[in-house]
A and B are shown apart, each in its own frame.
Chain A
């Protein structure tokens, strides 16, 4: 049981480039989400999904795009990378019922130069 798997682990982008952070879970969780973690600011929600075909914005959605075509996968797209998007990104998932444990992936370290 792999849990929540994120790729790549590390990535360096140039300003203006686009890329996709991949997230997959094998726990049949309906709820998936993306957070970013910056020093001194805690984890902040970017986008989330309550099931295949359904996505919504979190606290800091600008510059990011998501889709949910399957239950297992929830990719995060950076459309035109900016230095302000340098951060650590975490994907998380849980069963649909609120109050259930939310499990996190190992993180993707992104640097935009």
Chain B
């Protein structure tokens, strides 16, 4: 059974204070690892997909990396508008499976 664990559950940062969010996963075969951002009262907003160990992707102050057991979402010099819940999900590489298994998320608060 696929499992996804995100840590920490909550993180408070000062504006400009860089940090990383962790997503560890157990899956028989990984087709893709997805990062989403979710604002209160909204649906998950797609950020990145990583497909293989060693892959990295960047978008503004965010950089996602992937190893065979975990992914990190690095936030460099965050701003208050980066405050949100960040969700990690895996898609298993079995047959035509497309469904995502999600972690519980990391709630990030960036203080001005």
Contacts of A104 in B (CB 8 A): 36, 43-46
The answer to whether B96 touches A98, judged by C-beta atoms less than 8 angstroms apart, is: yes
The answer to whether A106 touches B42, judged by C-beta atoms less than 8 angstroms apart, is: yes
1/0 per residue, CB under 8 A from A, across B48-63: the answer is: 0101000000000000
The reply to whether the CB of B76 lies closer than 8 angstroms to some CB of chain A is no
The answer to whether B44 touches A50, judged by C-beta atoms less than 8 angstroms apart, is: no
Q: A29 to B65, alpha carbons, bound, how many Å?
A: 28
Total CB contacts across the A-B interface at under 8 A: 62
Number of A residues whose C-beta is below 8 Å from B? 26
The answer to whether A58 touches B46, judged by C-beta atoms less than 8 angstroms apart, is: no
The reply to whether the CB of A74 lies closer than 8 angstroms to some CB of chain B is no
Contacts of A58 in B (CB 8 A): 99
Contacts A43-B102, A90-B43, A90-B44 known; list 15 others, CB within 8 Å: A31-B98, A40-B104, A41-B104, A43-B100, A45-B100, A50-B98, A98-B93, A98-B98, A99-B32, A99-B49, A101-B46, A102-B46, A104-B43, A104-B46, A106-B43
